[in-house]
């Protein structure tokens, strides 16, 4: 029942193939694939070139590569002139959510694969990311993202907090299993799902080096609501190396990024509701972080990791609470002054477009 329902909802194409005994059965044909990379920083141009070289070496190659340059006309021209084998689009609106939406609009593939401009794909990245789509119920996939520390990894940095630097962290499900929180540095979405679910949430997603995260999580939650039989899958065989520069290895950056994550979760709760927005996080704290602290305390050399876990969790909780309280106070003052309060908690009308 799950299969047939998802085949209709997700719009798979089928071909007839011969099987033993001369009969035929329906099997999905290989989807066309577009790779979308969003960039905004001229200082990361060398990283972008390296990322595109890795993508060109994929087997099989994608049908097209779309580079979205956010808010920099000169950089867009430079990319177009030096990288002629890609589609280059300049985005007028800042932010990764707007850039990804533009990339989806300008691409043509049945599946849209996203990769960061500072991520280096392993040879099997694309094939591993696309393989789960042979299952008709799969709406999205998220690959394994390994950190590439440019100046060495701090001894205090815990595996459970590798999400701070945009990487896969301890506590994720096994490869092939369902997950709630895809990571945008390496993920893929069926175009037919985008046509049903709509665009990325504009209140979430980084704007240059600042802003809020959790836009991928919000999208996955909305996809589950629109297509209850669909799943998001962790594609562990699909691997990229995510560059981690020195600036992201400081404890100050660690704490700031945790605080921002808490703020992003608070916005996510306003948009999607507390139950779905925090269900995985509650389990993560109880099952993963608690055990991680106890494990780290057993050995003096890892006491720093135990401290980082406790302080990172505290910063995240503070960011969540501070934003939630501030929003409630603003709503009270707005109501008492007779102003209409149409922002927090109201669902966003996401545009649904036929993108074929």
Q: What percent of the chain has pLDDT over 90?
A: 52
Q: Assess whether pLDDT exceeds 60 at residue 220.
A: yes
Q: Assess whether pLDDT exceeds 90 at residue 269.
A: no
CB atoms within 10 A of CB 261: 22
Q: What is the pLDDT of residue 245?
A: 95
Going by their DSSP bridges, the two strands 64-70 and 14-18 should be labelled as: unpaired
Residue 13: which pLDDT band, with cuts at 50, 70 and 90?
very low
Average pLDDT, the chain: 83
Residue 185: which pLDDT band, with cuts at 50, 70 and 90?
very high
Residue 32: which pLDDT band, with cuts at 50, 70 and 90?
very high
Q: What is the pLDDT of residue 24?
A: 38
Q: Assess whether pLDDT exceeds 70 at residue 274.
A: yes
Residue 91: which pLDDT band, with cuts at 50, 70 and 90?
confident
Q: What percent of the chain has pLDDT over 70?
A: 82
Residue 199: which pLDDT band, with cuts at 50, 70 and 90?
confident
- Spell 95-113 as b/e; 16+ CB within 10 A means b: bbbbbbbbbbebbebbbbb
Q: Distance (Å, rounded) from C-alpha 94 to C-alpha 71?
A: 6
Rg of the chain over all Cα atoms, to the nearest angstrom: 21
Q: Assess whether pLDDT exceeds 60 at residue 82.
A: yes
Q: What is the pLDDT of residue 208?
A: 63
The CA-based angle 166-311-329, given to 5 degrees, is 90
Which residue in the block uniquely carries the two structure tokens 């577009």? 34
Task: Pick the more confident residue, 341 or 192.
Answer: 192
Task: Pick the more confident residue, 334 or 313.
Answer: 313
Q: What is the pLDDT of residue 3?
A: 26
205: alpha, beta or left? (left if phi > 0; alpha if psi -120 to 50): left
Q: What is the pLDDT of residue 95?
A: 80
Give per-residue pLDDT as tens, 128-145. Answer: 999 999 999 999 999 999
Q: What are the backbone angles phi and psi of residue 206, rounded to the nearest 5°?
A: -65, 145
Residue 356: which pLDDT band, with cuts at 50, 70 and 90?
very low
pTM: 0.82
Task: Pick the more confident residue, 237 or 209.
Answer: 237
Q: What is the length of the chain?
A: 356
Q: Please, are residues 79 and 117 in contact by the beta-carbon 8 Å criterion?
A: no
Task: Pick the more confident residue, 354 or 256.
Answer: 256
Q: Please, are residues 271 and 205 in contact by the beta-carbon 8 Å criterion?
A: no
Residue 310, token pair as written in the block: 């406790």
Measure CA 173 to chain center. 16
Going by their DSSP bridges, the two strands 64-70 and 119-121 should be labelled as: unpaired
Residue 28: which pLDDT band, with cuts at 50, 70 and 90?
low
Residue 27: which pLDDT band, with cuts at 50, 70 and 90?
very low
Instruction: State the first-to-last Cα distance of the chain, in angstroms, to the nearest integer.
Output: 27
Q: Distance (Å, rounded) from C-alpha 196 to C-alpha 341?
A: 29
Give per-residue pLDDT as tens, 315-355. Answer: 999 998 988 888 777 667 767 666 554 444 444 445 444 44
Q: Residue 206: beta bridge partners? A: 211
Q: What is the pLDDT of residue 142?
A: 96
Lowest mean pLDDT across 1-10, 40-49, 161-170: 1-10
Q: What is the pLDDT of residue 338?
A: 61
Q: Please, are residues 227 and 6 in contact by the beta-carbon 8 Å criterion?
A: yes
Secondary structure E strands in 30-178: 33-39, 64-70, 87-91, 111-115, 119-121, 138-149
Q: Assess whether pLDDT exceeds 90 at residue 231.
A: yes
Residue 230, token pair as written in the block: 């669909």
Lowest mean pLDDT across 24-33, 49-58, 71-80, 117-126: 24-33
Q: Residue 113: beta bridge partners? A: 35, 188
Measure CA 108 to chain center. 20
Q: What are the backbone angles phi and psi of residue 158, rounded to the nearest 5°?
A: -85, 145
Alpha helices in the chain (DSSP H): 2-10, 45-56, 73-82, 96-106, 125-130, 191-197, 215-226, 251-272, 274-283, 290-296, 303-336
């Amino acid at each position: 029942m799950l299969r047939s329902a998802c085949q209709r909802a997700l719009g798979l194409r089928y071909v007839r193939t011969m099987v033993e005994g001369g009969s035929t059965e329906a099997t999905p044909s290989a989807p066309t694939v577009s790779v979308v990379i969003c960039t905004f920083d001229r200082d990361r141009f060398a990283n972008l070139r390296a990322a595109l070289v890795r993508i060109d070496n994929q087997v099989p190659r994608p049908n097209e590569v779309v580079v979205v340059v956010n808010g920099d006309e000169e950089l867009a021209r430079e990319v177009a002139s030096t990288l002629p084998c890609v589609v280059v689009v300049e985005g007028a609106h800042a932010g990764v959510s707007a850039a990804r939406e533009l990339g989806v609009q300008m691409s043509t593939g049945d599946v849209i694969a996203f990769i960061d401009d500072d991520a280096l794909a392993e040879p099997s990245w694309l094939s591993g990311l696309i393989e789960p789509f042979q299952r008709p119920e799969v709406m999205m996939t998220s690959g394994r993202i390994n950190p590439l520390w440019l100046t060495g990894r701090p001894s205090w940095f815990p595996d459970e907090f590798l999400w701070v630097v945009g990487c896969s962290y301890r506590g994720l499900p096994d490869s092939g299993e369902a997950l709630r929180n895809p990571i945008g540095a390496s993920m893929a979405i069926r175009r037919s799902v985008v046509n049903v679910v709509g665009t990325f949430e504009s209140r979430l997603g980084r704007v240059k080096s600042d802003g809020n995260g959790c836009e991928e999580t919000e999208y996955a939650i909305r996809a589950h609501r629109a297509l209850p039989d669909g799943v998001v899958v962790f594609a562990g065989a699909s691997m990229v190396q995510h560059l981690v520069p020195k600036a992201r290895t400081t404890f100050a950056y660690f704490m700031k990024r945790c605080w921002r994550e808490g703020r992003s979760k608070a916005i996510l709760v306003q948009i999607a509701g507390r139950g779905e927005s925090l269900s995985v996080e509650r389990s993560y704290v109880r099952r993963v972080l608690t055990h991680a602290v106890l494990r780290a305390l057993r050995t003096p050399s890892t006491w720093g990791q135990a401290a980082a876990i406790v302080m990172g969790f505290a910063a995240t909780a503070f960011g969540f609470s501070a934003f939630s309280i501030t929003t409630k106070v603003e709503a009270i003052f707005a109501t008492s002054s007779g102003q209409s309060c149409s922002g927090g908690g109201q669902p966003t009308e996401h545009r649904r477009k036929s993108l074929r």
